[in-house]
Amino acid sequence: AVVDFANANRAPNLRYWMGTDTIGRDIMSRIFYAYRGAFTMGLGVLLATVPLGSVLGLVAGYWKERWYSTLIMRVTDVFLALPPMILALSVCAILRPTLFNSMMAMCIAWWPWYTRLTYGMGTSLRNEMYIKSAELLGASKVHIIFKEILPNCFGSILTKMTLDMGWVILTGAMLSFVGLGEQPPTPALGTMVSDGAKYLPTQWWISIFPALAIMVIVLGFNLMGDGVKDMLSGEE
């Protein structure tokens, strides 16, 4: 981080479009750098939770009468009963505050939603005629789950992923806001909002622009999710 006390606390101008913070760092440059951590968290959490949650949900849905299906769904219900933010805060409070540990906390809080989604779809699809035909032809259970049922779940999973990307980033910003995410001097959107809040309202740009950056990225992924849903459902 470049410290430039001569240009500290500069309001937005032609040189510093979003102003500078209390030690002269360009806020716009820090926001762009913080986006890297935000995208890393969003992609990392989804890449870890979507396969795990989807497979568990499909297994529990296809073998609904088995004991392990009941076990999977009761554990899922326990995690779903806890608000994701509270669960993530609890895990982060135990671990050392880093980007990786905050991603781990988010993974623990996020996988049950995909388990519940694919469980419902697997339960309904297992009674379809093409599944019964595959069973009569001697197809293996692994083939039926991953080649017959899973492809029919891709649309719903992809839509939820695009919507969840924004929520994961927002939750990660909340963690960094309370000091449980990336640590200074690495810029994080939530940390920037928290650091600038104490200087409101006089030096409003220090926290307002990072907050707007969070709003833009969350809104963008929500709109993308709506577009993906409309595209997959054939709506214009």
Determine how many CB atoms are found less than 10 A away from the CB of residue 13: 11
What confidence score (pLDDT) does residue 28 get? 92
What confidence score (pLDDT) does residue 234 get? 59
Handedness of CA 95, 98, 100, 104 (dihedral sign): positive
User: In this predicted model, what pLDDT tens digit does every residue of 9-20 receive, in sequence order?
Assistant: 888 888 889 988
Please give the angle made by the CA atoms of 218, 220 and 224, to the nearest 5 degrees.
Answer: 115
Q: Which residues of the chain are modeled with pLDDT < 50?
A: 235-236
What confidence score (pLDDT) does residue 236 get? 43
Distance from C-alpha of 60 to C-alpha of 74, rounded to nearest angstrom: 11
- Contact criterion met (CB below 8 Å) for 100 and 109: no
**Closest C-alpha among 200, 203, 186 to residue 8:** 203
- Say whether pTM exceeds 0.75: yes
User: In this predicted model, what pLDDT tens digit does every residue of 168-221 receive, in sequence order?
Assistant: 999 889 988 988 888 888 888 999 999 888 888 888 999 999 999 999 999 999
